[in-house]
Amino acid sequence: MLVITALTVVRTASLFAVVMLSGVFSLLSALLLVTLDAVDVAFTEAAVGAGISTVLMLSTLALTSRHERPSKLSPVVPLFVVLVTGAALFYGTLDMPNFGSADAPAMLHVYPEYMERSQHEIGVPNVVTGILASYRGYDTLGETAVVFTAGVGVLMLLSGLRRRREDDEDDDGENQRGSG
Amino acid sequence: MHHHLILRVVTKLLVGTIILYALYVQFHGDYSPGGGFQAGVIMAVAFILYGVVFSLASVQQVFPPWLVHKLVALGVLIYAGTGVVSLFLGYNYLDYGAFTPHHPEHGQHYGILVVELGVGVTVTGVMVAIYYAFAGRTPVISDEEW
């Protein structure tokens, strides 16, 4: 399903359809994450990937054009790069432990300790929240700061552009008045 | 979108439910999947949906831009402030055991709630602010163009 959606995204020229399909793609990957029992991640993927970014892409689309310009470059080199990268990734998965295997590295390192300690140290049933907000409190503070900085950056970029354009228009108006 | 009667009615019904669900995800995050990030996004979606279906002006009446900008900073302050409070109580930075010294487990619980609230407030603010910034620049397009 994911592959079919991705191929359709590549083949479609209407950008509106592409935005909708990328939302579908996000939703499908959220389902994939649910089957992997990563519910928190799936939740985020569904809310951010399928929800917010689709809306933001749509509002970007409203600012620009609604159709993709046909590319004049030859597709051979990009195709080669994609195939090589894909093959390398597939080769990498050969070394990965089987799905759900008990002796996978992720299950052996800090995982048992967190599972054991968090119930009586933090007493929060959702271990993911316990780790994020308490054991890894500094990291989450950093993430919040990153979200904050990104938001402020986007705001400054967008509002700065608008102010400059208004200034330009004022200048033009004065020039015309001067020449008239 | 003035003539989309169904969209308008459904949106009016849904916005309240979405906000309620966001609050549930926010404050139930320590029992079920979810937490500040997800709740913030869902909360922002409620306002963005309202803004898309009605108009930017009507959503900005409910949630004015100056308030959104303050919220962006307020969330980080709540999070960092929690750490400072635990410092002043004589514990490590962001050690939530400080809030109830006799029963550190409860302190952890309160600390996580407050911290997640900070995350949620910032994420809501940032998402809505970015939407305002984009939508404020967008010329209104007629439905036929889609």
Percentage of the residues of chain B whose pLDDT score is greater than 90: 18
DSSP symbol at A98: P
Give chain A's end-to-end CA distance (angstroms, integer): 64
Written as one string, the DSSP assignment of B66-134 is HHHHHHHHHHHHHHHHHHHHHHHTTS-TT-GGGGSTT-HHHHHHHHHHHHHHHHHHHHHHHHHHHHHHH
The answer to whether the CB atoms of B112 and A39 lie below 8 A apart is no
Residue-wise pLDDT tens digits, B52-82: 888 888 888 889 988 998 999 999 999 888 8
Across the interface, do A122 and B34 touch by the CB < 8 Å criterion? Answer: no
Residue B125 has pLDDT above 70, yes or no: yes
Write out chain B residues lying below 8 Å of A55, CB-based: 45, 48, 52, 131
What kind and span of H or E run contains B32?
none
Report which of B45, B62, B56, B60 is spatially closest to residue B11, judged by C-alpha positions.
B45
> pLDDT tens for residues B75-90?
999 988 888 888 888 8
Residue A2 lies in a domain: yes
A23 within domain boundaries = yes
> How would you label A31-44 residue by residue, b for 16+ Cβ within 10 Å and e otherwise?
eebbeeebbbbbbb
Amino acid at site A6: A
Q: Are A49 and B42 in contact (CB under 8 A)?
A: no
**Which residues, including other chains, have CB under 8 Å from residue A179's CB and lie 6 or more apart?**
none
Domain membership of residue A47 as a residue range: 1-67
Instruction: Kindly state the average pLDDT of the residues A73-100.
Output: 86
Q: Please report which confidence band the pLDDT of residue A81 belongs to, taking 50, 70 and 90 as the band edges.
A: very high
Alpha-carbon gap: A180 to the closest alpha carbon of chain B (Å): 31
Q: How many domains does chain A have?
A: 1
Give the one of A42, A55, A120 whose C-beta lies nearest to B131's C-beta: A55
B135 vs B42: which has the higher pLDDT: B42
Query: Torsion angle of alpha carbons A144, A145, A146, A148, nearest 10°?
Result: 90
Contact A140 B125 (CB under 8 A): no
Establish if A155 belongs to a structural domain: no
Model-level ipTM above the cut of 0.85? no
User: Does residue A163 register a pLDDT over 60?
Assistant: no
- Asked, for residue A105, whether it belongs to a domain, the answer is no
Chosen from A36, A121, A127, A134 to mutate, greatest number of chain B CBs within 10 A: A134
CB contacts < 8 A (A, B)? 142
- The reply to whether residue B83 touches residue A137, judged by beta carbons under 8 angstroms, is yes
Least reliable range by pLDDT among A25-34, A43-52, A92-101, B57-66: A92-101
